[in-house]
Structure 1
Amino acid sequence: MSSDSEPAGHRIDKGKGRARSPDPTESSPLLGSTSGSYTSGVDPESPPLARRLYSRLLTVFVVSLSLCVFALLLCTVIIFSYRSRAVSASPDDIIQHALVVRGPDRVDVLNTTGDGGIWMKIHGRVGLDAGHVAGVNTVEGDSFVEDAWKAIGRWGIRRLGKVSVNLSAIAVTPEGDASHSLSTITLPPLELPLTANPPPDNTWLTPVAIPVLIRPTTDAKTLMRFVRQSWKEGTIRVKASIQQADVTGGGLTDGGWRRHIRISHSDIQTAVHISSLPHPGDDLPEASRFVTLDSFLIKSANDTLNISANATLINPIQSSLNAIVPSLPFIVYLPPNGTSPPVPLAHVQTSPFALTCGNTSLALTGVVLPLPHNASGALSEFLGAYISARDADILLETTLLPDVRVPTKFPAPHPRPQILHDVKIKDMKVKPVGQGMIASGTVLARVVLPPGIEVGIDVVRVFPDLLVYDGEVPESRAYDEDGLAIQVLNFPVDDGDRDVPPQPPLPDPLPERAFAHIRPDDWLPAFSEPGESRPGEGTVVNVSADIVDVPLEVLPGREREFSNFVSKVVFGTQGAVAGLQGEAAVAVHVNGLPFENGRHGEMQLTGLPFKGIVRIGKRNMLGDLSMDLNSARGLA
């Protein structure tokens, strides 16, 4: 047996063919050997479908990455392009063409700061055409590429939505005169909505209500010069200057990427023109043209003089602006008189009112202020003009515009008020004394204040200066209305202050049938009591004063008229009627009229015209002297 022999039936193939794995047996592992290195990639012998799928996924990834990079670069270019346009845009161009403001539709005056500031809430509509600023609004004739490019910009504007604006104080000056300020305006941070491709109407504007602090100038001359010029031109022309304006993307409370968009501008100036004033070319009318006093009432109460009034305010601005105005305080001044400064006369305030286009009704209340010691001249001129039916000059000042006093008129009553009514001399007696004659009796009269003046008064003295007529006073005879005057004195009045009114010259020529002149040497003490007021009358008091031995002077060249009158008295069965006409002065205490020194005041009204009658009988003419006709004629 040889060792090289093989078992029968087992033959070894020694050829060069690839070794084959032995057939698996029951003891073979389930997985093949894992020895060797791992390689990515596709097995060359893998199916073609897998290779194609891998290739496409790789292509999609590369293309997507490229597109993202391109889109990012494109957006960066677009953002910087539009931002560059927004930054380079002129602020004045933005204000004039992109910023659209309509209104104000309503103005609410909230309050005053006490140092000349006025808080208002301005209601209006506002919008910012950001498409105009960025140049992305649709324009007829745009190509497809231009329209696509602008569409991206409009989409960005819609994504941004709004911007926040923070402005420094706005200085307002007359156009062409930056050296004189009219006011400064302070605004809180604002939100402005952005719009691209806005419609031609105003439907895209957003309603806003913005609180505004306005500080008008205290330079009255500059303000009045500007008002007169604006009225004459019919247009308000001002220049608004802003030192700094900061614009930030998004609303005031927004965060995120929008807040990184920031634009700042400095030294912004723009012109504002408002053409809504009527009658261009006309001079500015007086304030009395715009405010009409319909009625007033001055009444004594609790040692003060209270004022209530109703007036009509005419809005000269031709617009549909509605303004809600709270109570406004005013001080009424009397104009300077000689070297005396303006005198504060009254403090009044309006009730809250709504200012609309056209006429607005105002209700006012107030009090008379304590009169200073130097108020006599100004108050005399004011009351004298009023009682003489002449509009009296006054000045108005409001705390909204301190130190700005607007001249206007206090309307006089029409017809001219008559203070003395129903003047009579009761129990008049005439008797000779030496080479002259004296008269005695009791003067009776009603003192009637003009309607609307219901103050408590006490007439303490009177001073008549009158002519006596044979018969009633001719109707054609009238005294000069300019003779009326008022004098105000502090009380108690010293004897030196009780000088009688100056004697006016006798009429030239003398009135027909006037024959005598009666003028006392001193004031006559008077007694007064409340009287009954008639329709159209203010306070009424009945006054009486005794005339005791007052000289009766026969007028020059009227001895015959006097003799004829005496004849009627002596031979007439009912005596004779004598007409009385002249001027009187009365001194009154006014209840509640305040003075700075705390004392009661006395007012003297001089030059009050009056007419009356008296019937003189034989007993009144002769009296206890048993004076006969010849004696009377001899004296004449």
Structure 2
Amino acid sequence: MNNNDEVEDHAAHVDKGKRRAVEPSELTPLLGSSSAIIDEAIVPADSHRNLRTTLTTVFLVSLSVCIVFFVVIALLAWSYASRASNLKPDDVLNNDLVFAGPDRVDVLNVTKEGVWLNVQGRVGMDAGRAININTDPDDGPFRDLWKAIGRWSVRTLDRVSVNMSTINITPEYDSSIALVSLDIAPIELPLSVDPPPDLSWLTPVSVPVYFRLTSNSTEVLQFLKESWHVGKIAVRADVSEAHIRGGSLNTTSWRSNFQTKLLDIRTAIHMKIPPIPGLPHPGKHLPLPSLSSLITLKSFNISSTPTQLNIDATASIFNPAPTSLSLSAPSLSFIVSLPTTPPTFLASVSSAPFSLTYPNITLSLSGHVLPLTQSAFPFLAEFLSRYLSGEPNEISISSPLLPGYDISAEFPAPQPRPQILRDVTIKDMKIRPTGTVFLASGIVEGRVVLPKGMNISLDVSYVLPDVLVFDGEVPPAPEPDYATSRFVKHRGHHGSAPDLPEEPPLPDPLPDRAFAHIRPDEWLPAVSSPSEAEDGVGSVYAISARVVDVPLEVLPGRQKEFSNFVGKVIFGTDGATAGILGSAAVAVTVEGLPLNTPGRKTNEIVLSGLPFQGSVHIKKR
């Protein structure tokens, strides 16, 4: 074997497996074989090419999947947005937005411009129904998947915030008539899908509301009458714009990017008036009950102070609200007046804070009598005359907070008819002839008994009796026509007696056994003192006035009766009993009565035509 063969064997042996490395020698070349280097470089290049191909394929597939996914999401979003954009406010308000209540209303503040309320209720938005993504067993797999994604989206959004401009409420039959305007604070509307059939899914809310009622009370009352007549309330609500934003009011998140604005929202609202216990059934073409029939004055008390007359009263108001509603209100101010032109203001009162009670609301009122002017005297005369005659009076109740809204009410008269003068008699009465005239003297005594609720301090300064004298006790008979009460102003100078009231005519026909008429030509000075009050009446005062030589006028055609009576007095051993029937006028000073009248005492009034009945025993002197 030659050297060449050894070299070839050696070269061939190099490519086989691993072997022990040949130790370098002086004959070992400094550079190795270049073919080994080339072989080692070729293998990584192929591997990199395959990796790039794989990565490119993965990228393209992923990109395609993402594109398809986003296209699907975009299509879903477009489909949901398309449905949402096509929603009609009428459908949303009447079908999808659910409000239960109000459960409670608190009156926060009352001004001349309007009333601030805090309204508590329950609210919810059935978004699933609005965009038709609620579960339906008849849906196919694809539509069910589409709805499921929509429901998940609504649950993720959770709620929207709504900020509306002023809501104007008008009758549906005439949008030019303003009834009410409402300013509602921004509110959160919870979104729901697949809500249960009951109202358990609603969320409690508490919203401040600024309520303004139109000053045109005529239009409001006409609307209420029409609504009661047909049995339903039909109004239209107009909102110029509403801003809707995703998420809560006071937080900013990705949900806030969902925003929209609605303009010129107009929707019709129809509400059936439910039957109200105690009132005629609405919708039966029956008239709306008058407000005066819903208000009753239960009690009142007038008391004197040195500076004013104080009033305390209790009124009952029929409550038509549902029993589920709770309401609390602060103190409210009212003016009580007579329905004259212009109004005659009588009193200013304020209510204590109150809450709703059923079936009636009880109001506790307190206030004072307003200053009275001379121009008010004729109207007060009629009011007092009716009251003391046992007849009710019509009054008007208004509030400075609701100008233009006057509520008619009835001021009840005391029942039975009050008898102001009681136990009237003429003590130590004497009758003596003077020529052709008989003169009567004595001391008129009696009691002034005010009706229940009139606990005032007064001083009776003058009395003017107008008396019919009977032979014996007064026979049972209706009270004479002239027994009325009048409120008379005085025109005298300071310190003088008031003007005499007009003399009433004699009754026609004359009562049986009446024979004489006594009426002084001037006021009789009187003295009065408080007396012990009885149950069921007001203040009581004992009065007395001296009668000196007042002419006793024999009634026409009653000379015989007069002669018989004189005969009993002169020839009888025990004298004779004379019945007295008539009316009297009294001038009284009322402590605290704000009368600004020149002349006499500024708080003095004259009541005339006060009926009385009594008897007196006359003996021969």
Scaled by the length of structure 2, the TM-score of the pair is: 0.90
> How far apart in 2 are the matches of 1:35 and 1:497?
147
> How far apart in 2 are the matches of 1:71 and 1:497?
106
User: What amino acid sits opposite 1:567 in the alignment?
Assistant: G
Query: Any idea what the Cα deviations from partners look like across 1:5-31, whole Å, max 9, x if unmatched?
Result: x996885559999996998445699x9
Alignment check: 8 A CA contact 1:119 1:212 kept:
yes
Counterpart secondary structure, 1:125? strand
1:554 correspondence with 2:558:
no
Alignment check: 8 A CA contact 2:488 2:608 kept:
no
> How far apart in 1 are the matches of 2:33 and 2:565?
167
Distance change (3 Å), C-alpha of 1:10 and 1:290: same
Distance change (3 Å), C-alpha of 1:45 and 1:344: closer
Distance change (3 Å), C-alpha of 1:271 and 1:45: closer
Which 10-residue stretch deviates more, 190-199 or 296-305?
296-305
> How far apart in 2 are the matches of 1:416 and 1:90?
65
Aligned partner of 2:76 in structure 1 is: 78
Shift of 1:516: 0.4
User: What amino acid sits opposite 1:295 in the alignment?
Assistant: S
Counterpart secondary structure, 1:70? helix
Aligned partner of 1:359 in structure 2 is: 360
1:166 correspondence with 2:163:
yes
Shift of 1:124: 0.6
Aligned partner of 2:260 in structure 1 is: 263
Distance change (3 Å), C-alpha of 1:479 and 1:45: closer
1:221 correspondence with 2:218:
yes
Shift of 1:582: 0.6
Shift of 1:537: 1.2
Question: How do 1:457-472 and structure 2 match up within 5 A?
Answer: 457-472=458-473
Q: 1:254 aligns with which of 241, 251, 254?
A: 251
> How far apart in 1 are the matches of 2:513 and 2:39?
154
> How far apart in 1 are the matches of 2:492 and 2:15?
149
Alignment check: 8 A CA contact 2:296 2:410 kept:
no
Aligned partner of 1:626 in structure 2 is: none
Alignment check: 8 A CA contact 1:466 1:517 kept:
yes
User: What amino acid sits opposite 1:93 in the alignment?
Assistant: D
Aligned partner of 2:227 in structure 1 is: 230
Query: Any idea what the Cα deviations from partners look like across 1:432-458, whole Å, max 9, x if unmatched?
Result: 223222211111110011011101011
Aligned partner of 2:480 in structure 1 is: 479
> How far apart in 1 are the matches of 2:186 and 2:39?
69
> How far apart in 2 are the matches of 1:596 and 1:524?
25
Alignment check: 8 A CA contact 2:490 2:499 kept:
no
1:286 correspondence with 2:290:
yes
> How far apart in 2 are the matches of 1:560 and 1:95?
91
Shift of 1:233: 3.4
User: What amino acid sits opposite 1:222 in the alignment?
Assistant: E
Aligned partner of 1:244 in structure 2 is: 241
> How far apart in 2 are the matches of 1:206 and 1:547?
83
Q: 1:186 aligns with which of 167, 183, 186?
A: 183
Counterpart secondary structure, 1:361? strand
Question: How do 1:373-392 and structure 2 match up within 5 A?
Answer: 373-392=374-393
Query: Any idea what the Cα deviations from partners look like across 1:499-529, whole Å, max 9, x if unmatched?
Result: 3222222112111000001111122221111
Which 10-residue stretch deviates more, 321-330 or 440-449?
321-330
> How far apart in 2 are the matches of 1:499 and 1:332?
30
User: What amino acid sits opposite 1:312 in the alignment?
Assistant: S
Identity, % of aligned positions: 46
> How far apart in 2 are the matches of 1:248 and 1:129?
17
Alignment check: 8 A CA contact 2:492 2:499 kept:
no
Alignment check: 8 A CA contact 1:491 1:601 kept:
no
User: What amino acid sits opposite 2:517 in the alignment?
Assistant: H
Shift of 1:584: 0.9
> How far apart in 2 are the matches of 1:37 and 1:327?
104
> How far apart in 2 are the matches of 1:171 and 1:496?
63
User: What amino acid sits opposite 1:454 in the alignment?
Assistant: N
Query: Any idea what the Cα deviations from partners look like across 1:293-336, whole Å, max 9, x if unmatched?
Result: 22211111242111112222221244532211221211111221
Alignment check: 8 A CA contact 1:107 1:120 kept:
yes
Aligned partner of 1:155 in structure 2 is: 152
Counterpart secondary structure, 2:374? coil
Counterpart secondary structure, 1:516? strand
Shift of 1:287: 2.7
Q: 1:295 aligns with which of 286, 295, 299?
A: 299
> How far apart in 2 are the matches of 1:374 and 1:40?
125
Which 10-residue stretch deviates more, 550-559 or 306-315?
306-315
User: What amino acid sits opposite 2:526 in the alignment?
Assistant: A
> How far apart in 2 are the matches of 1:437 and 1:134?
105
Query: Any idea what the Cα deviations from partners look like across 1:192-233, whole Å, max 9, x if unmatched?
Result: 000111111001100111110001111122222223333333
> How far apart in 1 are the matches of 2:577 and 2:289?
53
Aligned partner of 2:595 in structure 1 is: 595
Shift of 1:253: 2.1
Shift of 1:460: 1.2
Counterpart secondary structure, 2:175? coil
User: What amino acid sits opposite 2:498 in the alignment?
Assistant: R
Shift of 1:63: 3.5
Shift of 1:86: 1.2
Long gaps (5+) in structure 2: none
> How far apart in 1 are the matches of 2:174 and 2:66?
57
Alignment check: 8 A CA contact 1:167 1:189 kept:
yes
Counterpart secondary structure, 1:384? helix
Alignment check: 8 A CA contact 1:277 1:318 kept:
no
Query: Any idea what the Cα deviations from partners look like across 1:331-371, whole Å, max 9, x if unmatched?
Result: 111221xxx51122111111111114412322221111122
> How far apart in 2 are the matches of 1:567 and 1:38?
170
Alignment check: 8 A CA contact 2:183 2:211 kept:
yes
Distance change (3 Å), C-alpha of 1:38 and 1:90: farther
1:372 correspondence with 2:370:
no
Shift of 1:588: 0.9
Q: 2:319 aligns with which of 289, 312, 315?
A: 315
Shift of 1:479: 2.3
Aligned partner of 1:582 in structure 2 is: 582
